[in-house]
Structures are given as structure tokens and as C-alpha cells.
Chains A and B, each alone.
Chain A
Amino acid sequence: MLKQFALAAACLFIADIAAADEPAQALAEAIANRPANEGRAGDMIFELTASSGAVRNRRALMIHSDKDSFVRIGIFFSAPAAIADTAFLTHDRPDSADENWLYLPATERVRRLPSSERGSYFMGTDLTYGDIKDNFTFNLNDWYFSNGLPDPETGLIALEGQVRTPEIAREIGYSRFSALVDPETLFPVRVDYDDVSGNPLKRVEVTEQEVIGGAWTAMRFEAHNLQTGHTTRVHFENMRYVPELDDRVLTSGQLALGAPAVR
């Protein structure tokens, strides 16, 4: 209760100063409005490393579509065999809550997921559903932004965020972040998140970017959980620009059919 009260008080305090922090707000908006390609697809390779050193791997086809601010992401797993054909789909419209679906082969059924499940972890990785959907942006409705000034050590731009309300913190799993943003690509290349209680939670780093279809795209990144020591490394192979992506590929009915053929 004390932690929740402190978080609420911090939110109110930040609310007062945030209005004046225009450079930070402008930077956050620039990141949120970062140019995106209409469609892209690639093989998404996950490497999950436990603190003990045990490694698990996942492979999936990732399809990303962004048309008129309607963002749709499909992730179709092909390996390992235990989770092959599992598929996740999210629809994110700017004017309404997200819609999410998951297909589990064991049940042979596409299941609608709660729309506010942003803070739940995705398929055993150190990435939340929100991380997957936000694609290295910060939801403007979730955060009060501050700083927005060059970092003298790295030459990158520092951006900090304080969650707006305790309810949002519980929903997304974060209360605060501190990021370094690449001014050329507008990608936060390093983000440190605090958990809902204000304790350091994890560090997300983008280690490789590439222009795909005229838009910068994160090709390699990792998330390291500071509390458990677990790390998720992700990289893409065969990433290609798909400007004429068939809208029907990213529908809930498609999930049960497995990974679609995307050329």
C-alpha cells in the first residue's frame, strides 16, 4: 500500500513538471511517429538464456503491418516442435483498445486475449506483450516524459518517463524508464525499466538496426531481466519489405492455418 501511495504521489508530482518538459515530449512524439514501412516480414529468432546458463530457442515468422496508423503484428512459431504452430496476433488502432488473439494447437482454437494484457510476458521471453506491440516506442498516453537532452557520454539523447497512473503501471508492468535514443533513427537503443514497485527490472538494448523499405527497423535486440538474471536475445533473418501485404494474412481466422506464405 505504501509503495502504491508513493507511486501515486510521484505521478502527481511528475504531472506538474511534465507540462514544461517540451523537448522530452517532442522527442517521445517523434519516436512514436517514427516512419514505419507499410509491411514487413522476417524470421524472428529468440534465444532465451536462464541465469543458470540453460538456453532455449524459438523461431517464428513475424509479419508487421502499419497502414494508416492501424498496426497489426502476427507471430507464427515454427520451432521448437513443442510450440510449433502457436500463433499470436495483435491489432492496435489509435482510437480504441488493442485486440489480441492466440492460437494454441493443442486446443485447435483461436482464443481472444484480454486487451489490457500488456504487462504479461510473451511466450516465456523477457519481453511483455506491450513490448512486442510498442515496437520500441513509448505510448504517449502512458508516460510523463522528461529530459530530452543529449547525453554527454554517448552523444545519444536521454529520455526519461514516469508512468501517469498506478493503474497504467500495473497494466504495463513498469513505473519508470530511462532511455538513450539514437537521434538519427529515433530508436531507443537502451532502455532501463523499473517495476511497479520502483525497483530496477530490466534493460532492453537494440544492438543492430537496418533500413527496411525506407524505414529503420530493429534487427537485433536483447532484454535482460535484472531481477532474475534471465536474458532474451532476438534477431531477424530474411527480413524483407512487403508493401503489398494481403490484409487477410493478419486476421484471427488465419492463425489456425499456420504461418502464411509471404513473399
Chain B
Amino acid sequence: MTRPAASPAAIACSAAALALCVQTDAHADTISGVLRIKAQSEAAIRLDDSAASLARISVQPRYLLRSTAGWRAEVSGRLVAFSDETGPGTTETFSGASRPVDIGPHGRIELDRAFITLGTGDHRFTLGKQSLAWGILDGLQVTDRFDPISRTEAVFGEVRPQRLARWGARWQGQIGGMEFDGAAAFDPTVNQLPLAGDAFAPRAPRLRAGFPQGAATPPVMVSARDRYLSDATYGLRVSRPLGHSEASLVLISGPETEPVFAAVLTPAGPVVELRYPRRTLIGATFERSDGPRVWRLEAAYTPDQPVNVLAAPFIAATDRPRYLAGLGLDWSAPNEVFVNLQIGVDHIDAGGMTLVRPQTDVIATLRLQRAFRNERLWLKSELLGSLNQGDGALRPWLEWRQSDALLLSLGGDLIWGRSQGLFGQYQDQSRLWMRITTNF
């Protein structure tokens, strides 16, 4: 896949964001601004061949403006220099307005956020490039499906999911004891994928329209990401506190963020096009604190989930009902050990067809962490597993806070399973990694 250059739309949107964030209200009492910079160096060694699978340095400035009159604004971005096999990921899956800009073969610059929030009472409006963290489970995306996600490190990045902000508008309001959160993203960015040959490029047939790894495939292209209105994403979340619980309903309509493969005949020959048809998600969440535990439950139904089916020799796709559910438990265990256990079920009603993926996936996650020495030292561990495919990953790591500004992290991603599995496809990418983070 190629890397398109920055479009005029991207430049215009960035300029608009800056204008939004530097405007001042003549009636505002006080406006304060603060610049924060995060600089990070990351490196990883692949266990299979001791190759440097990750080597990058990033600088992430973030400027915040805040007014005592109630509005706040933020502009943040990142400059990344890299020379590794993980790669920076696709840019053609972004809209022109959000697309990162490559600086030579080893650099990239990106506008992360640019928004202004107005209102302090019962209603708040946020305009600009922003993300929308819905859902209550950690990394298991049941109703948390508004934002596009970067998958350049699969599920092994620093945070999960790695959200991509989009241009749009959001309203948050309180009416009659209920909280409303509505948003529209007029930005057809759908995700960020690894480039072919990158360390975490999909290998499993389930993520390649059924093609096994190594099979000859036509060139791959991404469907045009320039339909700002027809490919807009709309979402509404309505939540209500219920004693020590909280329940919410979620409705999302927008382009699917996982690609569906389609064969397209062009004058230059056949190509595989990654498409992102619109789909609708109806979901609900419920969480409840219960002494040392917090229970979280999410469920979602997508009546028109686009999915590839096996129809050799052709690539075929259809819309099928999809059911997602997840249960999570936070537990403050003895000796200040924090335990987070989750299980998620992802079922697609195949309707007699053969899907390129299993009809049902069952994913479990277990996270343990404990702080020592007044949170100067953290020991953390995460176990990810696919119960139906028998693969998984163990991710132990430690964090040492040398000072308020300097954090050192060291860990490993130990992956096992078969090449068809969600995790097992990356079994040869097991790695040891380190990260140095400075904040000032």
C-alpha cells in the first residue's frame, strides 16, 4: 500500500483547530495555558532471531488552554522517528483531514487531538479532533466501538486500545437524572493497520479473507476515505446511576473498523480492496461496586455485521448478525494486589455459510498488578488467551519511576499458539522490550 501525502483538507482542519484553540473570549475572566511534552524511546528485541523489532523515538507535545469562564481547549501531536520492523502503519486508512504526514522513510508527524470544549453547566459541547472512550471493559471492545483503532502492534502496544481521534462534534448533557453523550464524527478514518511485511501484519487466514499466510494475493488497496458525510459515524450513549451501579445504553452507526476484503477488477488487473461498510451497534453496559469488587458487564448486537465468507475461488462478503458480550471483575485482593479478570464472547450467526473466522470467539484476560515503595515500582502482568483457539500471550513488565519526570519500563510479550489463531499468528514476534518515558 502507498502512503498518500497530506491533503489540503488536513491542512485546513489543522489550521481551524489552531484557530479554535487560540481564540479568546473578551468576557473570560482568566485564561491559562500550559505546555506539556512527553518524550519516549522504545526498543524491542525479537526472541526468535534477536532482531530489533521495535526502535523508535517520539516527542508528543500537548498544549492546553483553560478559561475560568468554562471553556477548555487542547492541541496535541506527535513526531515519531523509527527504524524497525513494527513500522508506523497505514495512512490510507485515514481520511485526508486526519492523515499523518510522513517525513522521509523513517519519520512521521501527526496531529493527535485538537478540540475545544464549551459549557460548564448541564450541557457541554466539544468541537474538533477528539476521541470517544465508551465501554467499561479494559481492552475488550464490546460497546467501545466508536473510535477507530491503531493495530500496528496488534494488542501489544503501551495502551489498549490505541485510539485514533477524528474530527467531529460531541454533546454531553444531563437531563432528568440521565446523562446523554452524543457524537458525530464527520471523518471517515477507520483504523491504522500494519503494512505488509511489518512485524504485526496479520498472518491468520481469518484476518486475510481466508488467504493463508504466504498465498499469492492481488495488490491490496483501501477503499476511498473521503466521504465525510456518507461515512460519518454517529453515536449516542445514555447512562443513569442506579445506587452503587450505573447502566447505559449505546447506539452507534458508522463504518465498520475491521476491514472486509473485496475483489475488484481494475484496468491494471484484479486487486483486493479493504472495505468498511456501515454497520449499526446496539449495546448496553452495567457496572456495580460490591465491597472490594467492581463488576462490569457489556453486551452488544450488530444486525448487519459485514464479514468475509469462504466461497473459493472468489472473495465474498455478507452481512450477518453479530453478538458481543463481556464480563469483567476488578478485585482489590489482599496485600494490595489488584486483579482484573475479564471474559468476552464474540459470536457471528453464520446462517449456514462458512465464515473465514470461527463463529464464536471466547477471549479471556487476567491482569495482576501491585505497587511497591510508594508507587515508585510497579510489577504488572497480563495474560491474554483465546479459549476456543488455545493460543494466548503472557505480558509481564515492571515500571520504575526514577523521578517525577522519568519512568523506566521493561517487559516481555510472550506469545504462543498456532498460526491461525488470534494471538498465535504472532508467535514468532515474542519480544523483550524496554521503554524510557520522560514527561515535562
Contacts and interface: CB of A to CB of B under 8 A. Distances in A.
A80 B439 contact: yes
A248 B293 CA distance: 26
Interface string B113-131: 0000100111010000001
A217 interface: no
Interface string A232-263: 00000000000000101000010001111101
A68 B330 CA distance: 31
Contacts of A109: 133, 136
Contacts of A141: none
Interface residues of B, number: 53
B374 A115 contact: no
A263 B437 CA distance: 35
Nearest to A119: B336
A257 B439 contact: no
Considering the complex of A and B, which 5 residue pairs feature the smallest CB-CB distances, nearest first?
A124-B375, A80-B404, A81-B439, A108-B133, A82-B439
Given A96-B243, A257-B72, A261-B68, A114 B289 contact: yes
B120 A261 contact: yes
Nearest to B74: A258
Interface of A: 48, 50, 54, 56-57, 80-82, 84, 96-97, 99-100, 106-109, 112-117, 120-121, 123-126, 170-171, 228, 230, 246, 248, 253, 257-261, 263
Contacts of B401: 56, 82
Nearest to B239: A253
Nearest to A106: B159
A124 B376 contact: yes
B244 A257 contact: no
Mostly helix, strand, loop or mixed at chain A's interface?
loop
A80 B405 contact: yes
Interface string B257-292: 000000000000000000000000000000101111
B50 interface: no
Contacts of A120: 332, 336
Nearest to B440: A81
A228 B377 CA distance: 14
Given A114-B330, A228-B374, A253 B289 contact: no
A81 B334 CA distance: 31
Contact of A114 (B64, B117, B331): B331
Interface string B330-356: 111010100000000000000000000
Nearest to A84: B36
B294 A114 contact: yes
A113 B294 contact: yes
Contacts of A117: 292, 332
B405 A81 contact: yes
B155 interface: no
Contacts of A228: 373-374
B36 A248 contact: no
Nearest to B288: A112
Instruction: Output the residue of B133, B289, B407 with the most chain A CB within 10 A.
Output: B289
A261 B67 contact: yes
B383 interface: no
Contacts of B2: none
B404 A57 contact: yes
Interface in B56-98: 64, 66-70, 72
B291 A116 contact: yes
Interface string B12-55: 00000000000000000100000011100000000000000000
Nearest to A258: B72
A50 to B, nearest CB: 7
B332 A123 contact: no
A57 B403 CA distance: 10
Contacts of B179: 253
A101 B36 CA distance: 25
A151 B208 CA distance: 78
Contacts of B38: 81
Instruction: Output the residue of A80, A96, A230, A246 with the most chain B CB within 10 A.
Output: A80
A126 B405 contact: no
B230 to A, nearest CB: 28
Interface in B386-440: 401, 403-405, 407, 437, 439-440
A82 B404 contact: yes
Contacts of B291: 97, 114-116
Contacts of A171: 292
A97 B332 CA distance: 16
Contact of A248 (B72, B121, B290): B121
